[in-house]
Amino acid sequence: MTGGAGFIGSNFVLQCIAKGETVINLDLLTYAGNRANLIEADREACHIFAHGDICDAAFVGALLREHHPQAIVHFAAESHVDRSIADPGAFIRTNVQGTFTLLEQAKAYWLELSETEKRNFRFLHVSTDEVYGSLRPTDPAFCETTPYAPNSPYAASKASSDHLVRAYFHTYGLPTLTTNCSNNYGPFQFPEKLIPLVILNALEGKPLPVYGDGMNVRDWLYVGDHCSAIQTVLENGRPGETYNIGGNSERANLDVVHTICSLLDELRPNATIGDRRTLVQFVPDRPGHDRRYAIDASKVARELGWRPTVSFEEGLRRTVQWYLENAHWIENVRTGAYRDWIRQNYEERIAQ
């Protein structure tokens, strides 16, 4: 698998290790890749970590032939919309060029397999609902046949990678699968994203920056549910198919922020800070900010029997509790570079 030291990838690694599966984990360890996410996995012989770049064709090819995997699960990606606005080139390199390189090496490896191994091999590409663009309040949720309409450099780079994966199935017969998920949250999420950013700022009594009017809507998916969905698709999905993975939990951003404040006021009250909802500060909206995402996950439920099991309320409580209990992890990821990014992207907006 690729990107297994990141947020979703590391949660997937831990699920696989718990099932006794061997995982070869390829990660470049950029700012959001963290070996500390893999401490439990590193204790197990079935976790093999490989520090490398998915754009390095020779390295990827050698890794495939050395370990002879039955599947590739491709998580590695640049994934933060704000960062894609500031530096789109990095997203094209990782998400487009990296996926192309991986597909090329996977195809060459797959062609060398026996006929039985070829039939059993899978290449699963993990993508996002952002490729579909933005919904109006009354529009039906995104389904697998919704036309692509990406509105950010991040979304465009992921849409490009989705098209490449589709092309390698239809052109070369490589047995690919694609999953498009809604917004994930849970343990190990890098604190530039909304939920961990709000948790950490609210704990410290700092302003809680909310874009625009706070009414942008997202469908929230607990990361453990997402990982189980990926396992289900990997084991039972039909090659060449796309499966949308959602949490059936649409919430406005402001509602999410208020819920986190209420949880922290309950679990970690602070008389000096008081009601943490008063920390909310509306900031100028990001360019091209999509208004609403929603996922129709009926296909994966109907065909493969997968449904989310963790409600948003329960998942958010688990997430807040995890951040409360893992102060050392938080301190290690909040480097000077991270602080510079937060200052540039949020604090300067607040000052406007």
| Cα separation, 112 vs 103, whole angstroms | 14
Q: What is the pLDDT of residue 341?
A: 52
| Cα separation, 24 vs 227, whole angstroms | 17
Say if 273 falls within a structural domain. no
| Cα separation, 185 vs 196, whole angstroms | 8
Tell me if 76 sits within 8 A of 28, measured CB to CB: yes
| Cα separation, 93 vs 77, whole angstroms | 10
pTM value?
0.94
Say if 73 falls within a structural domain. yes
Say if 48 falls within a structural domain. yes
Catalytic residue numbers, as ranges = 129-130, 154
Say if 138 falls within a structural domain. yes
**pLDDT confidence tier of residue 242, bands split at 50, 70 and 90:** very high
The CATH number linked to 139 is 3.40.50.720
Pairing, β 176-181 against β 217-222: unpaired
Say if 87 falls within a structural domain. yes
Model confidence over 72-103: pLDDT tens digits? 999 999 988 888 999 999 999 999 999 999 99
Q: What is the pLDDT of residue 32?
A: 79
Model confidence over 294-338: pLDDT tens digits? 999 999 999 999 999 999 999 999 999 999 999 999 988 877 555
- Its domain, for residue 38, covers 7-188+222-248+294-311
How many domains is the chain partitioned into structurally? 1
Q: What is the pLDDT of residue 334?
A: 79
Tell me if 197 sits within 8 A of 203, measured CB to CB: no
Say which residue, 338 or 58, is predicted with more confidence: 58
Say if 152 falls within a structural domain. yes
Say if 104 falls within a structural domain. yes
Say if 195 falls within a structural domain. no
